[in-house]
Amino acid sequence: MGRRQLWDQAEVLASAMRLFRHRGYLGASVRDIEEATGLHPGSLYRVFESKDGLFRAALDAYNDQVVRGRVQAHLLEPTDPVAGIRSFFTSAFETGLDPDPGCLLTNTAVESFTVPQAAAGVRRGLDVIESGFADALTRARALGLLSADLDVEVSAARLLALYQGLLVLVRAGTPRTKLHTVTDGAMASIGSAKEGQR
């Protein structure tokens, strides 16, 4: 009979998410991982096989818990989908964290040219966000909140690009006034006026 596992995998992944979000894949050493998770390398390698394996599992957990959760709350559930799109943007920088470590998905996308093994996880997360934008835009168009001529596919891709750029600015410590200006530009790109939307 094997030894009983005395640690919770969800807690380990949550700790790994926080570490990689602050340090990135390359910046997090095995010692950092051990300190963040409380596990010895042997346990980590037995379950995740490698640092790469732990990173991929943490990114998958982030996509499932954080990315999908934010898309659901801001883009899929609101009765006013245009307001939901705006809140999706603003909630990315109205976090109360100073400095904000940014989004693990975006940070990894920026770093992915040196971490090719993360490319699939990055693509999955970006697809979830783009699909969420498309859903919100489709509902907004049907409700008459946006032009009936709006190209949902093009607009969703544009919003994704603007949102990812915004998250890079968040990580760089850009003032919130400028982040609100970027958000206003994103809303203008879909034909939504900013007045009364904040």
The mean pLDDT value for 139-153 works out to 97
Tell me which of 21-25, 89-93, 147-151, 186-190 is least confident: 21-25
In the chain, what are the domain boundaries? 9-189
pLDDT > 70: percent of the chain = 90
> What would the DSSP string read from start to end of 186-197?
HHHHTT---TTT
Q: Which of 98, 78, 3, 15 is nearest to 42 (CA)?
A: 3
Q: Which has more confidence, 158 or 119?
A: 158
Asked if the 9-189 domain carries CATH number 1.10.1740.10, the reply is: no
The three-state (H, E, C) secondary structure of 125-186, written as one string = HHHHHHHHHHHHHHHHHHCCCCCCCCCHHHHHHHHHHHHHHHHHHHHCCCCHHHHHHHHHHH
Confidence check: pLDDT of 7 > 70: no
- Cβ atoms of 103 and 113 within 8 Å: the answer is no
Q: Is 86 left (phi over 0), alpha (psi -120 to 50) or beta?
A: alpha
Q: What pLDDT band is residue 190 in, cutting at 50, 70 and 90?
A: very high
Q: What digits encode the pLDDT tens for the residues 17-72?
A: 899 988 888 888 888 988 888 877 777 778 788 888 889 899 999 999 999 999 99
Q: What pLDDT band is residue 163 in, cutting at 50, 70 and 90?
A: very high
The mean pLDDT value for 179-189 works out to 96
Largest CA distance in the chain: 65
Taking CA atoms, 63 is separated from 21, 74, 137, in Å, by 13, 15, 22
Q: What pLDDT band is residue 101 in, cutting at 50, 70 and 90?
A: confident
Residue 31, token pair as written in the block: 């010692």
Average model confidence (pLDDT) across the chain: 87
Q: What is the reported pLDDT for 192? A: 84
- In angstroms, the CA 146 to CA 123 distance is 28
- In angstroms, the CA 164 to CA 123 distance is 13
